[in-house]
Chains A and B, each alone.
Chain A
């Protein structure tokens, strides 16, 4: 699974209230959520983001509320992966559960600026900054997480498993 896009860089402690404010929690259609992604921290994000782009951030990305709307909004905005120095606990599990890959790689965060073209390979954990011609390695994905991400998330994965059991 290879992902490629431009970097959007953010600082530390990007919380789920700024990723998707509570006033949109009654929305559950991913495309509608995507329209408000990052609205309270970067109102122009939705105009700049393109399919495949990658969010790059400092520590504790996704802290705060347990709202799964946050990774859903990011994924639906077209973002293909998030690279950060570290992630908050609930967000980490939520993102994997909805099929949005996350990578912890401090070197890649240091070596990337907004607008750089990045390429990520989940199986090997390889991150290439094509603009700066540098490459980094995050911890590769364990098989069960890859399986979840490839299935499109925990719900799809469970549904498939239930269907297999039923037949």
Chain B
């Protein structure tokens, strides 16, 4: 009997014939923490009595969620994490290097790897074909100490996408549409496997956007088969030797098959306060927006900035709408400068902030005021997420974000491109 991607990867890493429902102990290729959940993880690690991780080279600490620090308390947390990295030998990515998930994809994640992070959006690396999942501080501390952790092998939903994306539609619209269909808990504990011509043609940036939001349907992982696109992506990053093709077997067992005709999709928006509250952007025409956020681990990559810049080039943002741009990494930031996108965005009136998480989780660089609405390219619109329970967050693609910044109200990007 054939295997799904999740079963294949977990079989390889556990040395067992891993099947959905089995409990396996798998070797972990990368364990990481960040500056909001990391201090607790490091303290749990120390409290258990461990001195060094099983493999410090496979452990990494990111200072990205509130970087540079907005307060002395968070600055102290950063000091603590830097000390911890030095004492344990873990790698450190400090202020300005970028969002952990983007850096993991750019620099470390390989097809077939098992990655655990103290952050729910660790699933992003599934775009590269890594079994990557978020865990809490205690689990990550123990995984760090032992170099392994236990998993229940998830059942898989096959998401089969056919057809080409219409004008103005992006990977973000596909995943918003899917979460709207599945529901915020529709895939709890499952693996989502993205196959079919629409996904095999999709570039790595789009794959990362989609895998990033698998957790918003409750999934444990969102996996793409590794193929030519994966190989070219690794090669471009100087990691061509790490490529291995991994495809699901034709006779693998799926709990559910969801078929999507991608050509019928249109630009989508998730309304406050749940990610599955999804409607076409055109239905929200006229909704006033005070802040637009372009960036984050969902949509802060070069193609995202290029798309927004192409819409805003030579134009001005609406006078009552501020545009905050947070590139996902330093490499993205630099490439966007070299390509002229940052100049285009600045000329349109954007505020560019440090490469990192930006205001996504409400710690700095754009917390919302009372009654304000933000249209964001991030992945969560929960009440209070951007620092204020009296704020409203809408989620959409970079194209919809740019169109909305231009008009000052939610705008279907097809109106402006």
CB distance from A157 to the nearest CB of B (A): 9
Q: Which of B36, B134, B135, B274 interacts with A22 by CB under 8 Å?
A: B36
Stretch of A46-54, A93-101, A105-113, A117-125 on the interface side? A93-101
**What are 26 contact pairs spanning A and B, CB under 8 A?**
A13-B185, A17-B382, A18-B383, A21-B362, A22-B387, A25-B36, A26-B73, A41-B383, A59-B185, A63-B184, A64-B380, A64-B382, A65-B380, A66-B37, A66-B122, A66-B135, A68-B137, A69-B37, A89-B189, A94-B138, A154-B139, A155-B47, A155-B141, A155-B142, A158-B142, A162-B48
Chain B residues lying within 8 Å of A86, measured Cβ to Cβ, are: 185, 188
Could you tell me if B73 and A90 are in contact, using CB atoms closer than 8 angstroms? no
Could you tell me if A90 and B120 are in contact, using CB atoms closer than 8 angstroms? yes
Determine whether B44 belongs to the interface, using a CB cutoff of 8 Å to chain A: yes
Determine whether B409 belongs to the interface, using a CB cutoff of 8 Å to chain A: no
Chain B residues lying within 8 Å of A162, measured Cβ to Cβ, are: 48-49
Could you tell me if B362 and A23 are in contact, using CB atoms closer than 8 angstroms? yes
Measured CB to CB, the nearest residue on chain A to B75 is A26
Determine whether A80 belongs to the interface, using a CB cutoff of 8 Å to chain B: no
A93 in contact with B37 given A63-B218, A64-B380, A86-B185 (CB within 8 Å):
no
Q: Which bracket fits the contact residues of B?
A: 35 or more
Measured CB to CB, the nearest residue on chain A to B219 is A89
In the bound complex, CA of A23 to CA of B161 (Å):
39
In the bound complex, CA of A163 to CA of B47 (Å):
13
Determine whether B40 belongs to the interface, using a CB cutoff of 8 Å to chain A: yes
In the bound complex, CA of A65 to CA of B363 (Å):
14
In the bound complex, CA of A93 to CA of B139 (Å):
8
Chain B residues lying within 8 Å of A94, measured Cβ to Cβ, are: 135-139
Within 8 A of B (CB), among A26-61: 26, 28, 40-41, 59-60
Determine whether A67 belongs to the interface, using a CB cutoff of 8 Å to chain B: yes
In the bound complex, CA of A121 to CA of B356 (Å):
46
Chain A residues lying within 8 Å of B363, measured Cβ to Cβ, are: 22-23
Determine whether A134 belongs to the interface, using a CB cutoff of 8 Å to chain B: no
Could you tell me if A40 and B135 are in contact, using CB atoms closer than 8 angstroms? no
